[in-house]
Amino acid sequence: MRTSLVRLKADTTVAAALIVLMAGPALAQGGPYERQRIDNAAADRGRAVYAKHCINCHGSTAKGTDRGPDLIRSTVVLRDRLGNGIGPALKASANHQATLSAAEIVELSHFLHQRVEAIATNRNPRGPLPVLTGDPEAGRAYFNGSGGCSSCHSPTGDLAGVATRIPDAANLQQRFLFPTLRRGGPKQVEVTVTVRGQQPVSGALVRIDDFAVSLRDASGEYRAFNRGANVAVTVQDPLAAHHGLLDRYTDDDMHNLTAYLARLK
């Protein structure tokens, strides 16, 4: 416990949040210094729930988008124990339409705490880097085979030198687990809305849920539609493959891929 507190102190925001935490009533459950013990299997399931219900607004790294705040720096998440903060936060906001089971909320809690810890630990230069324990040859096979990575990427093309650009293996792993649209490729999630009997309207997705969809068209105009039987919506998310992969990677796949990518200097 002592080491992790020292580690977290390297980051003042997290340290400040910890102080709030120590004063908070939520702590009664685990003792003031006790962090949630992360159940990795539950966190894996939580990652899938996150990719389905939260990623559009809170972002593929959970660090927020213009549609939803950063959850890594959220004191609600830091204080949360097994969903006791996240559950009420989900109920409190009209932005949160998904109906989740109690078990799914616990899984989300494990996932988000795992993300917070991964980020806190990556900042610690003395921290362990268990991510390089994989087998690079197995990673290469997965990249070209069942992972399907080579249908979009190439080790001598867009990913040439990726390990030089991102020398820290833990960051490299985060990058393929939770990529963003910032390099050469498409810059936005495209959506096309067709109201029956009218011309389709396309543009950059602003927001989508079960009831409504909004976009900004090429001229910059904001358009919003209610969803219903006469409204067809097609979303083209360039990172859809990555969101789907989160459900499929085993721990070995992740470590092997990281070891493989770490060779692309």
Binding site for ligand HEC (CB under 6 A): 53-54, 56-58, 67-69, 71, 74-77, 86, 89-90, 93, 95-96, 98, 100, 108, 143, 147-149, 151-153, 162, 175-176, 179, 181-185, 207, 209, 238-239, 241-242, 245, 257, 261
> Which residue number, 6 or 15, has a Cβ lying nearer to ligand HEC?
15
Which residues make Cβ contacts (< 8 Å) with residue 12, sequence separation at least 6? none
> Which residue number, 134 or 203, has a Cβ lying nearer to ligand HEC?
134
Look at residue 51 and give its three-state secondary structure.
helix
Give the nearest distance from C-beta 99 to ligand HEC in angstroms: 10
Buried b (16+ CB within 10 A) or exposed e, 212-238: ebbbeeeeeeeeebeeeeeeeeeeebe
> Which residue number, 9 or 187, has a Cβ lying nearer to ligand HEC?
187
β-strand 190-195 against 231-236: which pairing, if any? antiparallel
Measuring CA to CA, which residue among 215, 216, 213 is closest to residue 225? Answer: 213
- Indicate the Cα dihedral angle 155, 160, 166, 171, nearest 10°: -20
Give the nearest distance from C-beta 4 to ligand HEC in angstroms: 22
Give the nearest distance from C-beta 158 to ligand HEC in angstroms: 7
Give the nearest distance from C-beta 98 to ligand HEC in angstroms: 5
> Which residue number, 29 or 146, has a Cβ lying nearer to ligand HEC?
146
Look at residue 244 and give its three-state secondary structure.
helix
